[in-house]
Amino acid sequence: MIWSDCMSASQTAVPYDTDTEKEQSTHQEEDLEPLWKVIAHDDPITTMEFVVRIMVQIFKKPLIFAEAIMWQVHNEGLSVVDTLPKAEAERRVKMATMAARLEGFPFRFTLEPAD
């Protein structure tokens, strides 16, 4: 008996999920993209509270990691915040920089290739 003969008129085949395919394709493309380090730099004006908020809201860090990054920036002058595909790193840096400027802070980031 052929598969189509087994299906009744009320049964239909499961439709192909193109959204899942697109998501998997995007993840595969990101996996192939070279990664870039996002580096936050210390300054004498930006508050510690603001740095923690940016780490949580824009870089999606849990609070404990956001605080650790903030302390490293404060004590060592800089900290690697995240390692991301270049386009995503640039997008988050742009958002964080805009938020800093809106609040009057000179908070600064740089990007460098991850080895």
Q: What is the CATH number of domain 35-115?
A: 3.30.1390.10
pTM above 0.75, yes or no: no
- What's the confidence (pLDDT) of residue 25? 58
pLDDT tens string 58-80: 999 999 999 999 999 999 999 99
Distance CA 52, CA 47 (A): 9
The sign of the torsion formed by the CA atoms of 99, 57, 26, 33 equals positive
Which pLDDT band, with edges at 50, 70 and 90, does 32 fall under? Answer: confident
Q: Would the pLDDT of 115 be above 80?
A: yes
Q: What pLDDT sits at residue 112?
A: 97
List the beta bridge partners of residue 41: 78, 108
Boundaries of every domain in the chain: 35-115
- Specify whether the CB–CB gap between 96 and 55 falls below 8 A: no
